């Protein structure tokens, strides 16, 4: 059974960047890519120099080709079998030249096929998952996600600049605190902005108006509290039932009033860290306020020696360029962690 320097769980920008950095340090690794990506619904990636407004799958293909068939030979494999568990085992090496045996901890990943993979470190770079509302709660949301419903106006939205109107959709009471920031960002791209609360009560515990509501109104952002019946997204003019406006999305209300059309909606649904169960079982800690993994060093080590995190799973700054950056940091962290052990004879 080969013992790798690192197992990288996640084949997106963070995981691929981590692997490339480890190649430069001549560290052996395996990347696990189950084909699930947070940007599955988007057509283009942005804010990436030389790759701006290009398809995410084209980047992943090029990066994979570089790792497997380029200048390096230390990425043994990019496995498409999902990792079901990672455990720690203590193994005893055979006797050394002095007749001594030495126990050491190794990480063992078990994939969907039951195959075991052994390594000295593990990197979780599998990101977060956006928890889209079920179709019976907000019909039409999923089909518009990533096309005309955006979670981040750095990643998307520039292409809709100059629009007549846009909306900010609030799905949970906790999301209302971000509504003013989202509205302000959307106002750079559209003339009129409306915040939709979908029937949520804006009062603060029933004690009076929420200060966020006052901030919105002072900046002339409309607030619409009507419950939403469904959303109808349109990707192109050819998809529209009426040819009197640009593509975008229609909001239908439960009171039967006339639907409202916008160029796009901004919405930040709740999210969860992928593979959190596995990470918690290893001892990785998560911040109560954000639900994200906690790190204890500039190079994204966790509280568990030998376990690192990279990408969206440990930061609110969830962009492709930051995933690249974190992958580079983590590769350095893994290398120096192993180097320290090697220099000390561990």
CATH number of residue 168's parent domain: 3.50.50.60
Residues 280 and 239 in one domain: no
Last residue of a domain, which of 215, 235, 266?
A: 266
Residues 88 and 182 in one domain: no
Reply yes or no on whether the pLDDT at 241 is more than 50. no
CA-based end-to-end distance of the chain = 20
User: Is-contact 225 204, C-beta < 8 A?
Assistant: no
Residues 249 and 138 in one domain: yes
Residues 32 and 103 in one domain: yes
> Looking at residue 195, what is its pLDDT?
96
d(CA 346, CA 343): 8
Residues 299 and 261 in one domain: no
d(CA 282, CA 90): 14
Token pair of 287 as six digits = 């911040």
Residue 212 has φ and ψ, to the nearest 5°, of: -65, -35
What pTM was computed for the model? 0.89
d(CA 22, CA 15): 11
Q: What is the mean pLDDT of residues 246-253?
A: 89
- Residue 325 belongs to what H/E stretch? helix 320-343
Last residue of a domain, which of 266, 285, 312?
A: 266
Please state, in angstroms and as integers, the Cα–Cα distance from residue 180 to each residue in 72, 99, 113, 227, 289, following that order.
48, 68, 48, 20, 20
Residues 114 and 141 in one domain: no
Q: What is the mean pLDDT of residues 261-290?
A: 96
Token pair of 103 as six digits = 């126990």
Bigger pLDDT: 73 vs 210 = 73
Q: What is the mean pLDDT of residues 260-268?
A: 96
> Looking at residue 243, what is its pLDDT?
46
Last residue of a domain, which of 241, 266, 291?
A: 266
Q: How many domains does the chain have?
A: 2
Burial label for 218, CB within 10 Å (0-12, 13-18, 19+), is exposed
Q: CA-CA-CA-CA torsion for 81, 85, 89, 93, nearest 10 degrees? A: 0
Residues 138 and 255 in one domain: yes
Query: Tell me: the pLDDT tens digits for 155-175?
Result: 899 999 999 999 999 998 888
pLDDT, the chain, mean: 90
Residues 185 and 233 in one domain: yes
Residues 211 and 124 in one domain: no
Residue 252's domain comprises 132-266
| 346 pLDDT tier (thresholds 50, 70, 90) | confident
- Three-state DSSP class for residue 179: helix
Residues 299 and 281 in one domain: yes
Buried/exposed 297-309: b ≥16 CB within 10 Å, e otherwise: eebbbbebebbbb
Query: Tell me: the pLDDT tens digits for 63-112?
Result: 999 999 999 999 988 999 999 999 998 876 655 545 555 678 899 999 99
Residues 251 and 321 in one domain: no
User: Is-contact 62 17, C-beta < 8 A?
Assistant: no
DSSP code of 241?
S
HEC profile for 242-262? CCCCCCEEEEEECCCCCCEEE
> Looking at residue 203, what is its pLDDT?
59
- Residue 111 belongs to what H/E stretch? strand 103-111
Reply yes or no on whether the pLDDT at 6 is more than 50. yes
Residues 195 and 250 in one domain: yes
Beta bridge partners of 9: 32, 124
Reply yes or no on whether the pLDDT at 242 is more than 50. no
- In the chain, the percentage of residues whose pLDDT exceeds 90 is 77
| 234 pLDDT tier (thresholds 50, 70, 90) | confident
| 236 pLDDT tier (thresholds 50, 70, 90) | low
């Amino acid at each position: 059974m080969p013992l790798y320097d690192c197992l990288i769980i996640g084949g997106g920008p963070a995981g691929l960047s981590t692997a490339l950095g480890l190649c430069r340090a001549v560290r052996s690794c395996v990347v696990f890519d189950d084909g699930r990506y947070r940007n599955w619904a988007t057509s283009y990636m942005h804010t990436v120099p030389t790759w701006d407004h290009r398809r995410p799958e084209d980047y992943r293909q090029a990066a994979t080709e570089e790792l497997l068939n380029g200048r390096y030979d230390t990425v043994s494999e990019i496995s498409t079998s999902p990792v079901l568990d990672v455990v720690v085992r203590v193994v005893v090496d055979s006797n050394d030249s002095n007749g001594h045996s030495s126990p050491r901890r190794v990480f063992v990943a078990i994939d969907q096929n039951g195959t075991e993979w052994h390594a000295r470190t593990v990197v979780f770079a599998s990101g977060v998952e956006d928890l889209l509302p079920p179709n019976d709660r907000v019909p039409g949301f999923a089909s518009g996600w990533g096309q005309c419903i955006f979670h981040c106006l750095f990643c998307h939205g520039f292409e809709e600049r100059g629009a007549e109107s846009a909306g900010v959709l609030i799905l949970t009471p906790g999301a209302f605190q971000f509504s003013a920031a989202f509205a302000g960002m959307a106002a750079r791209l559209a003339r009129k902005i409306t915040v939709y609360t979908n029937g949520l009560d804006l009062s603060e515990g029933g004690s009076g108006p929420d200060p966020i509501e006052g901030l919105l109104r002072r900046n002339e952002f409309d607030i619409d509290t009507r419950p939403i019946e469904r959303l109808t997204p349109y990707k192109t003019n050819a998809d529209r039932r009426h040819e009197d406006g640009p593509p975008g999305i229609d909001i239908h209300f439960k009171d039967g009033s006339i639907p409202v059309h916008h160029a796009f909606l901004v919405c930040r649904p709740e999210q969860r860290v992928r593979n959190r169960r596995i990470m918690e079982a290893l001892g990785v800690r998560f911040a109560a306020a954000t639900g994200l993994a906690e790190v204890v060093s500039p190079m994204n080590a966790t509280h568990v020696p030998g376990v690192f995190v990279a990408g969206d799973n440990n930061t609110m700054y969830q962009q492709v360029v930051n995933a690249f950056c974190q992958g580079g940091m983590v590769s350095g962290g893994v290398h120096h962690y192993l180097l320290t052990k090697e220099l000390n004879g561990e």
